[in-house]
Amino acid sequence: MYTLYLLVIACIVYLSSTTFTAIATKVPGPWYTNLTSFVLKYYEFQGKRRVWIHSLHERYGPVVRLAPNEVAFANLEGMKEIYQSGGSGYDKTEFYDLFKQYGRRTSIDIKQHSQRRKLFAERYAMTNILNSTIIQGIQQNAAKVVQKCAASAGSYLDTYVGDIEHLPKSDSALLTTT
């Protein structure tokens, strides 16, 4: 019986603290997003998260609360702050748990992400992307896809990653993880 009382008290304390914190930030959104993330999770599992968030932006503006600990931005200033500030300092939410591989979250820690990004940065530099060998490979693979599309006109087309050529063997070392 005491366990039930403790559970109820814990729920009240949790809801009070998250609600107080959420209300104190004064971010617009539906009232229930101050209390719980269940509605957000409902739309995620329905596959309608993006549509729901868009409808909230239409109603509340460019900054919207989605859950007590999650806010969505739909303006240039917010995008710059999050994506272009050279490591914004914002931690990823539990939403990214959906991308677990082998029971581990992928590059969540900011320092770990920075180190891993340095490993791959050279390959995505404009000088490497515009390398004639890379451009030639892209053109060849694009031509194969166009041929498959033309051959399947009026029917279905199944194309898999294995159907196209990958990086040369010398570049495969970059894809290994430690």
pLDDT for residue 25 is more than 90? no
Determine the pLDDT at residue 132.
78
State the greatest distance between any 2 C-alpha atoms of the chain, in Å, as a whole number: 73
Structure tokens at 91: 């931690």
pLDDT tens readout for residues 122-152: 877 877 777 778 788 888 888 988 888 888 8
Q: In terms of Cα–Cα distance, which of 66, 133, 57, 127 is closest to 95?
A: 66
Helices 49-60 and 38-46 meet at what angle, rounded to 10?
Answer: 130
Determine the pLDDT at residue 160.
65
Q: pTM for this one?
A: 0.46
Tell me the pLDDT band of 20, cut-offs 50, 70 and 90.
low
**Cα distances (Å, whole numbers) of residue 75 to 13, 27, 62, 78, 106:** 34, 14, 6, 5, 27
Determine the pLDDT at residue 92.
66
Tell me the pLDDT band of 153, cut-offs 50, 70 and 90.
confident
pLDDT tens readout for residues 57-115: 999 999 899 988 888 888 888 777 776 655 556 666 666 677 676 766 665 667 777 78
Determine the pLDDT at residue 173.
42
Determine the pLDDT at residue 145.
85
